[in-house]
Amino acid sequence: MIKQLTPNIPDYELLDTGEGEKLERFGRYVVRRPEPQAIWRKSLDNREWLKADASFLRDSKSEERGEWKLKPEMPSRWTVGFNYKDMHLRMRLALTSFKHVGIFPEQAANWEFIYDSIHELRAQGIDRPKVLNLFAYTGGATLAARAAGADVTHVDSVKQVVTWSRENMESSGLDGVRWIVEDATKFVEREVRRGNKYHGIILDPPAYGRGANGEKWVLESDICHMLESCAQLLEPTNAFLVFNLYSMGLSSMLARTAVHQAFGAPKHEQMGELYFEDGSKKQIPFGTYYRFKR
């Protein structure tokens, strides 16, 4: 089933988009960042954009890096919350040199799916479902799984990001996550050799990346091997998969085809785009997703 998803997060608001930028509110603070998909005109007056508490300025020598211009009242760190049913997450935000702030708010739609899927597994008699979160970043999906009662293994190759995730866990009143600082491919290959199994796998790979020891990751050339390895780790029944793609030009149909080849066709599947609508009703996708239950 193709379904476009947008979550409801009171602490996040997409105020405006256009001319290669987006204007967002995270909690109390307004942030202005590049957004190459915003090919249309801005709707708000430029004076509104100039009110941003933090504006990202790209480095002329790099397409990815840059620096932030801050208003005097803008802190270097602040916290936002996300609530869903009995889940109450607190996420620490910060302004990074790669324009990220520590959260991808569109992923909250997947956090809800993860939380509900684990509760369904527990209702079926699996008291502590095992969940593996790969390329796990600051851990929103990890926290959703842990809040639902899963045993979670969180894998990311950047030690500072794993530390950030641990802070988010503690702020959310949770504990017990297994933290792994390692290249995701190497970890998965070792788990396959060990014969380990998981009831849920969350796969959120970047287009390009580096492992803890400099291992190179290129999505288009490495994703098939990763999916095939994950297929050996996922339980044959009473299991779920969440697969995200952020590379522009890669559709949910491509994700579905690749997953079907590795895992086979599941009983229940969803795919589509994760999107937000700005204050002028302009809709912009921030990623594609494919997920299934079996």
Q: What is the mean predicted confidence (pLDDT) over 216-221?
A: 91
For tokens 């009995």, what's the residue?
Answer: 86
pLDDT band at 80 (very low <50, low <70, confident <90, very high): very high
Cβ-based burial of 45 (10 A; exposed 0-12, middle 13-18, buried ≥19):
exposed
DSSP 78-109: EEEEEEETTEEEEEEEE--TTS--S--GGGHH
| Separation of alpha carbons 43 and 16, rounded Å | 7
Tens of pLDDT, residue by residue over 16-74, are 999 999 999 999 999 999 999 999 999 999 999 999 999 999 887 766 789 999 999 99
Tokens matching residue 155:
């894998």
Tens of pLDDT, residue by residue over 166-183, are 999 999 999 999 999 999
Residue-level pLDDT at 247 = 67
Percent of the chain clearing pLDDT 90 (strictly above) = 89
For domain 102-293, which CATH number applies: 1.10.3720.10, 3.30.70.260, 3.40.50.150, 3.40.50.2000?
Answer: 3.40.50.150
Residue-level pLDDT at 250 = 84
Cα separations in angstroms, 68 against 32, 94, 118, 257: 9, 11, 39, 40
- What's the mean per-residue pLDDT of the chain? 95
**pTM of the shown model:** 0.95
Residue-level pLDDT at 248 = 61
Residue-level pLDDT at 53 = 98
Residue-level pLDDT at 63 = 67
Residues 6 or more apart in contact with residue 260 via CB below 8 angstroms? none
Tens of pLDDT, residue by residue over 96-124, are 998 999 999 999 999 999 999 999 999 99
Residues 6 or more apart in contact with residue 161 via CB below 8 angstroms? 137, 138
Residue-range domain boundaries for the chain: 102-293
pLDDT band at 265 (very low <50, low <70, confident <90, very high): very high
